[in-house]
Structure 1
Amino acid sequence: MKSIDQAILPLWFRTGIVCLIAATLFFSFLYRPDRNEVPLESAEVISTQAIESQSLYFKDLDGGLVSVVDAEMNREITRLRVGEDGFMRSVMRGLARERMAKGHGPEVPFQLTVWEDGLVSLIDPVTQRRVELSAFGKDNVAAFTRLLPSASKKLDAGNSSS
């Protein structure tokens, strides 16, 4: 006659399962590769030479606006309005959040770079994080490349010929 309190699995088996789970968790945390520690130089080897680059600050303003500032000329390039430029806001917020998590502030500008092979990257020199914008499609690349000096020259030329 079996008691209701009698266990279905023997104690040695339950103990073994708990030890196996604990060991798996321990080793997975111990040997977890940290993808944020990949040096920036290794990514640069993949790409070719930079053909155009822009240093940018992203500053939060009242009302949810974000000002995009040319760091070298200290002039505003554009303002990102609420409900617009969602991809640009997401990428920028992710990089800024990572900076803050590592104890850094907004003092150093981000680098928007167009490479010789046509790829476009947004690089955070502080955290060494590099976002390959080209991987997200032409429309999302265009959202960022409009911030480059060559894009503003094209706009100026188009306005003067009208």
Structure 2
Amino acid sequence: MTSHASAPSRPAPEGKIPLVLVRAMFALVLAVLAIVTYARLTDVPLSATPPEGAVVAQREMILTTRDLSGAVMVLNTDGSVLADLSPEEGGFVAGIARVIERERIKARVDLQGPVQVLRRDTGRLSIYDPSTGWSADLMGFGADNARAFARLLAN
């Protein structure tokens, strides 16, 4: 009978994470940081952005929230009411309006300027704030949320 002089593997004490997993997590974090640092320093172009496409439909509108309930009023640029959405109907639209308001406060621009909702030939919807340069691809928030802005674009 032969015996090997290898160290017996022992499980980690109860409630402790095995040391090999902790080292693997740190190695993963360091690898990600190295990749991101390389990409930022060498100006590697963004590759995971949605396709742009040509604008096939566009509408300017003003989003105004009354409170944090989720209710929002959507106005045409002439001030006429396009939609008056209750908290049940306008939760996502109100959330986007609050993001735009925050970006405008940071940029110190007029809070009541219009935004543009754009439909592209790729079928994607996006919202763009010309006063701050902020934009978002609405498809990234899910079909139901994108549909809320699609209805506003169609009105």
| TM-score, normalisation: structure 2 | 0.60
Q: Which consecutive unaligned segments of at least 5 residues does structure 2 have?
A: 1-36, 38-48
Residues 81-140 of structure 1 deviation map (CA, whole Å, 9 limit, x = unaligned): 234422111111111111112211224310000001111000011111111001122111
Moved more, 84-93 or 61-70: 61-70
Aligned counterparts of 1:49 and 1:117: Cα–Cα separation in 2: 8
Answering whether residue 104 of structure 2 is matched by residue 91 of structure 1, we say: no
2:74 is aligned to 68
Answering whether residue 115 of structure 2 is matched by residue 110 of structure 1, we say: yes
Aligned counterparts of 1:110 and 1:101: Cα–Cα separation in 2: 16
1:145 is aligned to 150
2:17 is aligned to none
Question: RMSD in angstroms over aligned alpha carbons?
Answer: 2.4
2:58 is aligned to 53
Aligned counterparts of 2:150 and 2:72: Cα–Cα separation in 1: 17
Q: From the superposition, tell whether residues 63 and 133 of structure 1 become closer, same or farther in structure 2 (CA, over 3 Å).
A: closer
Q: Which consecutive unaligned segments of at least 5 residues does structure 1 have?
A: 1-30, 32-42, 153-162
Q: From the superposition, tell whether residues 89 and 107 of structure 1 become closer, same or farther in structure 2 (CA, over 3 Å).
A: closer
Displacement after TM superposition at 1:66 (Å): 2.2
Considering fraction of residues, name the structure with more helix.
Answer: 1
Aligned counterparts of 2:98 and 2:87: Cα–Cα separation in 1: 14
Residues 50-93 of structure 1 deviation map (CA, whole Å, 9 limit, x = unaligned): 0000101012347954210111x432111122344221111111
Aligned counterparts of 1:62 and 1:50: Cα–Cα separation in 2: 33
Aligned counterparts of 1:142 and 1:66: Cα–Cα separation in 2: 16
Aligned counterparts of 2:131 and 2:87: Cα–Cα separation in 1: 27
1:78 is aligned to 83
